[in-house]
């Protein structure tokens, strides 16, 4: 069982006191509840002893005892003899539902409905399936024709690629896991951006890496920090999102790409570029070439955003020896990507330029609509200009993201609080807001946010049942 120290818990709780619930113990309980709901305190984790947490937070022990008591009563903590207080989910919580009950808006996800082209492509793929039914169907690297198509798309993007340099995965998340299994050992350092994609942090934690954070903001990558971190820590890997970084939407300039890869190769660092968002190009600025065109880098791709999150196909582009190592180790994790889904993607890739144009139009409408509404409703928020991606990384001006998230839940709007995208509780001033939804839903979300914003710091938040969802 993993244990959170009082210090770590204190970091995760930063700013909890500002939540002006009627009583301190309720504010503390609320914040701990949010941390359990959004996975920053994983279920099964032992919380610090009451006395230690009280000392860390500089509150009386009675406050912590009462907060733990309230959580216990709500089913969020259990006391295990000899093990202290362990994070739990209430029995009645709809665990891991990905289809929130009607009326709840799930803005924890930066996602879109399926491309309209999908249904017909699935029918064509089903018609092709009989050709494959004589084969065993287990395949660790992917169908040759799909690998060739993916390689061709890289070549068209200016990065000549051979089909042998592509391995088809079950989405980008799986690609991250396969790469970490192959490239890192427990205790290795991993350079990561902050903020970053939360499920990558989870995978890096699970792999036992020590994360070395480098910040990305409205001004882009912190270059001196990037240089220093690479040089001082020689991380085994660097996990980066150079194209429409999630959540900030930033694009890494070409000169930074070349410099970064040069430094990384000198330190023996394998650079992984997650390009899941790369094709979500709204204003069609001329993007730099894919990272691997500037030096050695492993690329991750996916159709999760372009086609649909429900088509679980992604890929890794790397040198042949690494592709071989990944394929050899893969069978401990899974036995290959489903053939039918690969065929669906194979049907869609020839239409991809049209699909991406349609995606860009939808995202442009959402981005422009949400920009205008936010400017009217929240003039004090800093909403960045982004030319791609699915989200705004908004500076709220106050460290209240967790409070706002809790208050919004009570209004039927699920949000991922800023700290979900950081390490150790950073980013309480920030909120990631997706603009990838229809305008009617964006309007409902802003209405809910208006009410929630008025309530931040003013009320005791009602107990909810902790609807859990992945943050993508």
Ligand X SMILES: Cc1ncc(COP(=O)(O)O)c(C=O)c1O
298 to 51, 144, 290, 427, 452: CA distances (angstroms): 47, 20, 10, 29, 42
Q: How far apart are CA 433 and CA 417, in angstroms?
A: 10
- The answer to whether the peptide bond before residue 424 is cis (omega within 30 degrees of 0) is no
Instruction: Specify the stretch interacting with ligand X by CB under 6 A; choose among 125-133, 165-173, 380-388, 392-400.
Output: 165-173
Q: Does 314 bind ligand X (CB under 6 A)?
A: yes
Shorter beta-carbon distance to ligand X: residue 76 or 244: 244
Q: How far apart are CA 416 and CA 172, in angstroms?
A: 20
Shorter beta-carbon distance to ligand X: residue 33 or 367: 367
| Shortest distance, position 174 Cβ to ligand X, whole Å | 6
Instruction: Specify the stretch interacting with ligand X by CB under 6 A; choose among 35-43, 186-194, 301-309, 342-350.
Output: 301-309
| Shortest distance, position 361 Cβ to ligand X, whole Å | 20
- 191 contact partners, CB below 8 Å, separation of at least 6: 211, 212, 213, 214, 226, 229, 230, 233, 235, 237, 238, 239, 240, 269
Pick the closest to residue 252 from 267, 274, 283, 230 (CA basis): 274
| Shortest distance, position 14 Cβ to ligand X, whole Å | 25
Q: How many helical (H) and strand (E) elements, i.e. helices and strands, does the chain have?
A: 15, 14
Q: Write the DSSP string, 329-364.
A: HHTTT-SB--HHHHHHHHHHGGGHHHHHHHHHHHHH
| Shortest distance, position 197 Cβ to ligand X, whole Å | 4
| Shortest distance, position 377 Cβ to ligand X, whole Å | 26
- 21 contact partners, CB below 8 Å, separation of at least 6: 27, 30, 459, 460, 461
Shorter beta-carbon distance to ligand X: residue 246 or 405: 246
Can you tell me which of 28, 93, 238, 241 binds ligand X, judged by CB under 6 A?
241
Task: Kindly determine how many residues on this chain lie close enough to bind ligand X according to the rule CB under 6 A.
Answer: 14
Pick the closest to residue 257 from 246, 269, 241, 281 (CA basis): 241
Q: Does 302 bind ligand X (CB under 6 A)?
A: yes
| Shortest distance, position 419 Cβ to ligand X, whole Å | 17
| Shortest distance, position 471 Cβ to ligand X, whole Å | 8
| Shortest distance, position 226 Cβ to ligand X, whole Å | 18
Give the pair of three-digit tokens for residue 22: 């009627």
Q: Does 472 bind ligand X (CB under 6 A)?
A: yes
Q: How far apart are CA 124 and CA 37, in angstroms?
A: 41
Give the strand pairing for 210-217 and 220-221: antiparallel
Give the residue closest to ligand X by C-beta. 171
Can you tell me which of 45, 108, 173, 436 binds ligand X, judged by CB under 6 A?
173
Instruction: Specify the stretch interacting with ligand X by CB under 6 A; choose among 166-174, 257-265, 373-381, 397-405.
Output: 166-174
Q: How far apart are CA 396 and CA 313, in angstroms?
A: 36
| Shortest distance, position 153 Cβ to ligand X, whole Å | 16
Q: Does 146 bind ligand X (CB under 6 A)?
A: no
| Range 245-284, binding ligand X (CB under 6 A) | 246, 274, 276-277
| Shortest distance, position 227 Cβ to ligand X, whole Å | 24
Shorter beta-carbon distance to ligand X: residue 173 or 269: 173
CB of 64 within 8 A of CB of 57? yes
Instruction: Specify the stretch interacting with ligand X by CB under 6 A; choose among 14-22, 171-179, 207-215, 345-353.
Output: 171-179
Q: Does 435 bind ligand X (CB under 6 A)?
A: no
Can you tell me which of 10, 74, 171, 198 binds ligand X, judged by CB under 6 A?
171
Q: Does 316 bind ligand X (CB under 6 A)?
A: no
Rg of the chain over all Cα atoms, to the nearest angstrom: 23
Q: How far apart are CA 407 and CA 465, in angstroms?
A: 14
User: Interhelix angle for 401-410 vs 24-37, to 10°?
Assistant: 80
Q: Write the DSSP string, 205-223.
A: HHTTPEEEEEEEETTEE-H
Can you tell me which of 90, 198, 235, 309 binds ligand X, judged by CB under 6 A?
309
| Shortest distance, position 331 Cβ to ligand X, whole Å | 20
Shorter beta-carbon distance to ligand X: residue 161 or 246: 246
Q: Write the DSSP string, 306-322.
A: TT-TTS--EEEE--HHH
Shorter beta-carbon distance to ligand X: residue 171 or 466: 171
Can you tell me which of 16, 197, 430, 453 binds ligand X, judged by CB under 6 A?
197
Q: Does 436 bind ligand X (CB under 6 A)?
A: no
Residues in contact with ligand X by CB under 6 A are 171-173, 197, 241, 246, 274, 276-277, 302, 304, 309, 314, 472
């Amino acid at each position: 069982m993993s244990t959170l120290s009082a210090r770590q818990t204190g970091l995760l709780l930063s700013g909890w006191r500002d939540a002006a619930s009627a009583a301190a113990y309720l504010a503390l309980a609320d914040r701990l509840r949010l941390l359990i709901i959004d996975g920053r305190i994983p279920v099964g984790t032992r919380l610090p002893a009451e006395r230690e947490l009280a000392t860390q937070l500089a509150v009386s022990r009675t406050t912590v005892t009462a907060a733990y008591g309230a959580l216990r009563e709500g089913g969020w903590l259990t006391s295990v003899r000899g093990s202290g207080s362990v994070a739990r989910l209430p029995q009645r919580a709809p665990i891991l539902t990905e289809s929130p009950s009607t009326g709840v808006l799930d803005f924890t996800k930066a996602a879109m409905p399926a491309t309209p082209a999908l249904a017909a492509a699935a029918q064509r793929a089903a018609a092709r399936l009989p050709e494959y039914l004589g084969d065993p169907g287990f395949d660790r690297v992917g169908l040759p024709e799909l690998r060739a198509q993916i390689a061709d798309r890289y070549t068209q993007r200016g990065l000549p690629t051979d089909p042998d340099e592509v391995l088809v995965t079950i989405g980008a998340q799986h690609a991250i896991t396969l790469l970490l299994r192959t490239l890192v050992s427990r205790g290795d350092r991993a350079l990561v951006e902050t903020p970053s994609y939360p499920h990558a942090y989870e995978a890096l934690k699970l792999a036992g890496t020590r994360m070395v954070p480098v910040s990305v903001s409205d001004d882009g990558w912190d270059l001196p920090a990037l240089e220093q971190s690479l040089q001082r820590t020689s991380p085994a890997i660097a996990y980066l999102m150079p194209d429409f970084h999630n959540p900030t939407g930033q694009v890494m300039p070409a000169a930074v790409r070349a410099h970064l890869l040069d430094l990384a190769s000198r330190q023996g660092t394998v650079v992984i570029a997650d390009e899941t968002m790369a094709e979500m190009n709204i204003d069609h600025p001329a993007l730099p070439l894919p990272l691997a065109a500037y030096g050695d880098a492993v690329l991750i791709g996916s159709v999760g955003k372009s086609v649909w999150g429900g088509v679980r196909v992604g890929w890794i582009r790397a040198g042949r020896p690494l592709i071989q190592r990944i394929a050899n180790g893969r069978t401990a994790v899974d036995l290959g990507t489903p053939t039918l889904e690969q065929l669906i993607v194979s049907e869609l890739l020839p239409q991809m330029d049209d699909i991406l144009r349609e995606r860009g139009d939808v995202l442009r409408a959402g981005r422009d609509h949400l920009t205008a509404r936010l400017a009217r409703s929240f003039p004090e928020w800093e909403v960045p200009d982004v030319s791609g991606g699915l989200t705004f990384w908004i500076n709220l001006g106050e460290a209240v993201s967790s409070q706002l998230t809790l208050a919004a839940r009570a209004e039927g709007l699920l949000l991922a609080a800023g700290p979900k995208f950081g390490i150790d509780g950073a980013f309480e001033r920030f909120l990631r807001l997706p603009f990838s939804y229809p305008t009617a839903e964006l309007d409902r979300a802003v209405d809910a946010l208006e009410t929630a914003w008025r309530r931040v710091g003013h009320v005791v938040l009602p107990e909810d049942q902790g609807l859990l969802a992945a943050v993508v």
